[in-house]
Structure 1
Amino acid sequence: MKPPRLEGEQTIEAMVILGTVLIHPMTHLLKEATSIALAHPPAGLGSSLPPISSALSNLFSNNLVSSVQTANIGFFWTHWSIVLFVLVFIAYSRYLHIVASVFNVFLRSSLPKGALRPLNLETAETFGASKIEDFTWKQLLDLYSCVVCGQCQDSCPAYLSGKPLSPKKVIQDLREHLLERAPLLRKRKAETENPGDSGQAMIGEVIGEDEIWNCTTCYACQEVCPVYVEPITKLIEMRRNLVMEQASIPETGEGALKCLETRGHPWRGTTMSRTDWAEGLEVKTLADGSDVDTLFWVGCTEALETRSARVAAAIARIMKLAGVNFGILGNEEACCGDPARRLGNEYLFQMLVQQNIELLNNYGIKKIITGCPHCYNTLKHEYPQFGGDFEVAHHTEFIAGLIKEGRLQGIKEMNGVVTYHDSCYLGRYNNIYDAPRDILHGLNGVKLVEMERNLEYGFCCGAGGGHLWLEEQKVGERINEMRTEQALATKAEVIATACPYCLQMFEDGIQTKEAGESVRAMDIAELVVKAIS
């Protein structure tokens, strides 16, 4: 039975290919059958004859030799004509992916998984992509390589929640647009002048703005793609163009970017300072001349959002209990830039990066611990694009190491059922699946139960790609409520997270589902502190 993701894919091209697949082997069998009837069996088989062709040869045993010879020649040329036809047909059909996908696999991005390509702001003729020709040759090769299997669509949280976004459709629509514009682009190149544009605009008509902004950059689509097609990079390039050239962005996202520019963080309206969470913990601040081995990069959300600030305090308590010599930047810390980059403002991102790298280098920072997977991914994989090379660890990796080394003593019995949610930027982006689970297994009395969608197939919380600051489109279901339902189905008492974005989404989902009396969301660091306090 045909899965839903393949609905509407039975095209004329598909029927042509299916027909050739059926006819091609039949002509081969009949060619061999007529050869056997003419006493010219296939060479190299000795006295053994191909069983099917041998049986079919009986159809020609009573015919005139000249008739069999004519049939043999006819089957031979029919067989090879089909081969030649398919080779030509493939080049003009969607089945070009048979060839293109091979090159796409071998020429896949050498950047760390999920890292975005930087823009050269000084030399770029256009910011992002507003026209199909603005994409790189590799991004265009992606369009020809898609096998239309629909696995990306079946994994996309936006699509599954009823939003107008299908990664498969984005790639296919861009490919059709490329084929429509190709003659015009060839003419423009031949005439060395601009003959004028025609047809649909890529942004707004070929790909709707709702599609562009509904992506949570969770990487689920790219994780399952068998030929390494990258829908996310296309959508980010279009976001870059919308934001940096057209000044078009949803209102809530615009507010977050303005706050980033003026205050160095995206949390509009917060009255907290970056050090309020550390009150009473005696945490060192680098500006005070503290000599430390490790920097705790707190991040905007854990420093400035009330619920998440408790996670920052828990991480600091664990580091102090383990005797780690660490400090924080305090009010000197600015956003790592992830929200700006994922929302399309590459200029603001690079400005923040250069500012942060200069600050970190001035303090001689070598080792950084983060409490946020988004900060972790950006500092570890995207800062090196601009000369910022640091040893970066996520707090779950660090805590798991402390437990393994025996530096956290006195872990008490802690009975309860816990389910763990894999953060997209920790799991799929960075393959950190074991460390959080190792911590939970190390808490005596804790029973870990997995959600149906877990590990690399985990379901997004809905906050990535800047969506923590974007109002979710009021179409279909809310992504965080879908993930909360999946967590509630495990009957766990605690939903464990390792990301402040995810924590926010679960807090909201639990409240919406009125499940606060039966389950609560906690960061793994909070569970560890509870077990040793």
Structure 2
Amino acid sequence: VRRYGARPLRLWEPRRGEGYALFLWLLLAVLVSGFLVEGLRIVATRDPWGLWSPGGWLTARALGGIGAGQLQLWHRLVWWGHAVLAFVFIALVPFTLIRHILVAPANIALRRPQPSGVLAPEALEEAEHFGVSSIQGFPRKDLLDLLACTECGRCQAACPAWATGKPLTPKGVVIDLRDHLYANTLRQPDGRTMVGEVVGEDAIWACTTCGGCHQACPVFIEPIPKLVDMRRFLVMEEARFPAPMQAALRGLENRGHPYQGAVPSRTAWAEGLDVPLLAEKGTAEYLYWVGCAAAFDERNQKVARAFARLLQAAGVDFAILGEEERCTGDFARRIGHEFLFQMQAQANVETLNRYGVTRILTTCPHCYNTLRHEYRPFGGTYEVLHHSEFLARLLREGRVRPGVTETRRLAYHDSCYLGRHNGIYGAPRAVLDGLPGVRRRELPRHAENSFCCGAGGGLMWSEERTGTRINVARTEEVLGADVEVVGTACPFCLSMFEDGIRAKDATERLRALDVAEVLAGALPPESA
């Protein structure tokens, strides 16, 4: 009824059709014939316990007028018809789309233990080719993903690219790759190239790696690694990818960061704050990993200054690397330049281990995800805390005591790489809820169902030319919540909201602030 009556779009798009009608009608026939067999049995035997088989009992009530001589004949005919239908259904399962009822449980059992934001490293020294350009190049688990898809469309409904008119749909990618797999293994090869024809390049570059599809999938299919593998092929084999991304990668190679026209120093943001360098201090309980955005982006420098003031007000023993810090390489990895990412990772791990760093604080969820999870294969194992977690701890311990602030209606936006990919939802809210003057509201889409800002997956360094800009769509949702401030805990989200607010000409109605800025603004003058 729901599929063919209500017809939710996520079940039918992007192909405006589906291949399950035969099996659904066949399953219905098996069920109906089964009730008929049971009803005829109950009538013929006058089973006193028939009421305990409610489907059969109700059917028996409808068949009560059949004569005794006819019951045996009808029971035999329907029994054989039911058996044939059931065996036909069972025989079709392994060879048709309905096979997901067998494959999906296996896919769930074999799901990756790592968080959804973690990408597996590519063994570059052993690789004959970089990335994946043919269906046979995917690991077996990725191929199992394709067979497990139920085509429910939940991933598509959660995808910010699809929601804003981009050509990417995770469901479409998975079923297109599945059909391509069938064509190249069970049938005559279709002669199409996987990257570019089966999956269009516009779709490949539209992914923000937000993890909405991973979160929504009931059988744990992961489209992101497949898209990144295809990006690796386009970047490292073909050198064919968007020009703004190329400029960002060149900046990383030449300057050590992707920001063009930025201040030349990683420590300019800290001028006048007496923030110690680890090289001069020798040791510190915590290393504050500033990140490229907070070091070079003028707007995010204010976040770094606010966080540093909070650390100093709480008496935290911390230091920074200064010019020895390099970009974590997060965006390079997600764009597909695995070689550049591994160079950055190895250099950073060498620096961190040389100083004996064990605890790291960072204001960037992308740095957090990379330092905590993706540096481990390169020898970097650290206790990494996002600044919202650490600030919530300082508030809980009474080491930071905010004063009374002006009343503000505020909504918190969940960053994809902090929330969905790493499960941190409570800490930023605890910081905001600890301020007497803040009245926090939840956005319609929040926590694990939050809507992406549009900057992940390297798209911070790209231009959206199709459909609605994702950050504008999210800004419109915030404006509809009737709040004065949108709180963030990610430098990319902050930049995208600043841009979205300007695009909507709403600078007088809405401000974007990091949680550290909100808390630092509430410090009494003597603490600040």
Normalising by the residue count of structure 1, what TM-score does the alignment of the two structures yield?
A: 0.93
**Residue 55 of structure 1: CA displacement?**
2.7
CA distance in 1, matches of 2:381, 2:60: 69
Structure 2 unaligned residues grouped into runs of 5+: 1-5
2-side partners of 1:296 and 1:423: how far apart?
20
Quick one: which amino acid aligns to residue 160 of structure 2?
A: P
- In structure 1, what residue type is equivalent to 2:473? M
Deviation of the 1:59 alpha carbon: 4.6
Q: Deviations over 1:65-92 (max 9, x none)?
A: xxx5443332222112111111122222
Q: State yes or no: 1:135 paired with 2:148.
A: no
Shift of 1:440: 0.7
Matches within 5 A, 1:43-58: 50-58=56-64
Contact 2:402 2:519 in 1 (8 A): no
Which structure 2 residues correspond to residues 380-459 of structure 1 after superposition, within 5 A? 380-459=372-451
Q: Do structure 1's residue 324 and structure 2's residue 316 form an aligned pair?
A: yes
Partner of 1:78, secondary structure, is: helix
Q: Which amino acid aligns with 2:496?
A: M
CA positional deviation for 1:412: 2.8
Whether contact under 8 Å (2:164, 2:467) holds in the other structure is yes
User: In the alignment, is the contact (CA less than 8 A) between 1:493 and 1:518 conserved in 2?
Assistant: yes
Q: Which one of 288, 295, 301 corresponds to residue 303 of structure 1? A: 295
Superposed, which structure 2 residues align to 1:224-235 within 5 Å? 224-235=216-227
CA shift in 2, pair 1:439/1:410, >3 Å = closer
* Equivalent AA in structure 2 for residue 162 of structure 1: G
Partner residue in 1 for 2:203: 211
Shift in alpha-carbon separation, 1:59–1:303, aligned structure 2, 3 A:
same
Query: Alignment partner for residue 284 of structure 1, among 276, 297, 311?
Result: 276
> Displacement, 1:28?
2.1
Deviation string, structure 1 residues 449-468 (Cα, Å, up to 9, x no partner): 12111111111000000111
Contact between 1:152 and 1:168, CA under 8 Å: does it hold in 2? yes
Residue 352 (structure 2) pairs with residue 366 (structure 1): no
Indicate if the aligned counterparts of 1:13 and 1:93 stay in contact, CA closer than 8 A.
no
Q: 1:283 to 1:91 in 2, by over 3 A?
A: same
Matched with 2:457 is 465
Q: Which residue of 2 aligns with 1:517?
A: 508
Is the contact between residue 31 and residue 72 of structure 1 (CA under 8 Å) also seen in structure 2? yes
Measure how far apart 1:315 and its partner are. 0.7
Distance across 2 between alignment mates of 1:315 and 1:452:
29
Q: Distance in 2 between matches of 1:517 and 1:200?
A: 52
Equivalent runs, 1:23-172 vs 2, <5 Å: 23-36=29-42, 38-39=44-45, 50-63=56-69, 68-172=71-175
Distance 1:46 1:215 in 2: 55
Report the residue type matching 2:278 in the other structure.
L
Farther-moved stretch of structure 1 (267-276 vs 391-400): 267-276
Aligned amino acid, residue 23 of structure 1: A
CA distance in 2, matches of 1:10, 1:112: 33
Q: Is the 8 A contact 1:33 1:57 kept in 2?
A: yes
Distance 1:42 1:224 in 2: 47
The answer to whether the 8 Å contact 1:495/1:519 transfers is yes
Q: Which residue of 2 aligns with 1:192?
A: none
Q: 1:63 to 1:463 in 2, by over 3 A?
A: same
**Could you say if the C-alpha distance between residues 38 and 489 of structure 1 is closer, same or farther in structure 2, counting changes exceeding 3 Å?**
closer
Output the amino acid matched with 1:146. Answer: C
Pair 1:12–1:466, CA change in 2 (3 A): closer
Letter in 2 for 1:153: Q
Match of 1:180 in 2: 183
| 341 and 63 in structure 1: CA distance in 2 versus 1, 3 angstrom threshold | same
Q: Report the Cα distance in structure 1 between the residues aligned to 2:503 and 2:41, rounded to whole angstroms.
A: 74
**Cα–Cα, structure 1 residues 53 and 515, in superposed 2: closer, same or farther, change >3 Å?**
closer
User: C-alpha separation between the residues in 1 aligned to 2:34 and 2:323?
Assistant: 76
Q: Report SS of the residue matched to 2:64.
A: helix
C-alpha change, 1:77 and 1:10, in structure 2 (3 Å) is farther
1:217-245 superposed Cα distances (whole Å, 9 cap, x missing partner):
00011111111111111111100111111
Distance change in 2, residues 1:130/1:500 (3 Å): same
What's the C-alpha RMSD, in Å, of the aligned pairs? 2.1
- Alignment partner, residue 255 of structure 2: 263
Contact residue 37 and residue 57 of structure 1 kept, 8 A: yes
Q: Does the C-alpha gap of structure 1 residues 523 and 70 become closer, same or farther in structure 2, counting only changes over 3 Å? A: same
Shift in Å, 1:7: 2.7
2:356 is paired with a residue of what secondary structure? Answer: coil
Q: Deviations over 1:295-353 (max 9, x none)?
A: 00000010011111111111111101110111000001000110111100111111111
Q: Show CA shifts across 1:41-62 (max 9, x none).
A: 6798699995234335535415
Q: Would you say the 8 A contact 1:414–1:443 is kept in 2?
A: no
Where do 1:2-17 residues align within 5 Å? Answer: 2-7=7-12, 13-17=19-23
Amino acid at match of 1:201: T
* Aligned equivalent of 1:19, options 4, 21, 25: 25
Shift of 1:415: 1.6
8 A Cα contact 1:312 1:371, kept in partner? yes
Q: Which amino acid aligns with 1:6?
A: L
> How has the CA–CA distance of structure 1 residues 96 and 279 changed in structure 2, closer, same or farther, with 3 Å as cutoff?
same
CA distance in 1, matches of 2:418, 2:42: 63
SS in 1 for 2:25: helix
Letter in 1 for 2:520: V
- Tell me the distance in 2 between the aligned counterparts of 1:331 and 1:237: 32
Structure 1 pair 35–361 and aligned structure 2 pair: CA distance change class (3 A) = same
Runs (5+) with no aligned partner, structure 1: 186-196
2:238 is aligned with 1:246 = yes
Q: 1:214 is paired with a residue of what secondary structure? A: coil
Distance 1:432 1:451 in 2: 17
How far apart are 1:95 and its partner, in Å? 1.3
- Kept in 2: contact 1:30–1:56 (CA 8 A): no
SS in 2 for 1:393: strand
User: Alpha-carbon deviations, 1:351-388, whole Å to 9, x = none?
Assistant: 11111111000001010000100000110111112221
1:297 and 1:368 in contact (8 A); partners too: yes
In the alignment, the residues of structure 1 paired with residue 423 and residue 52 of structure 2 have an alpha-carbon distance, to the nearest angstrom, of 57
- Equivalent position of 2:3 in the other structure: none
Question: Contact 1:322–1:402 at 8 Å: present in 2 too?
Answer: yes
Measured in 2, the distance between the counterparts of 1:446 and 1:342 equals 36
CA distance in 2, matches of 1:289, 1:11: 65
TM-score (norm 2): 0.94
Local SS of the residue matching 2:287: strand
Cα offset, 1:115, TM superposition? 0.6
CA displacement 1:479-522 (0-9 Å, x = unmatched): 00111111111221111111110110011111111111122111
Q: Distance in 1 between matches of 2:122 and 2:60?
A: 64
Distance 1:176 1:483 in 2: 34
- Change in Cα spacing, 1:72 to 1:268, as seen in structure 2 (3 Å) is same
Change (3 A) 1:237 1:63: same
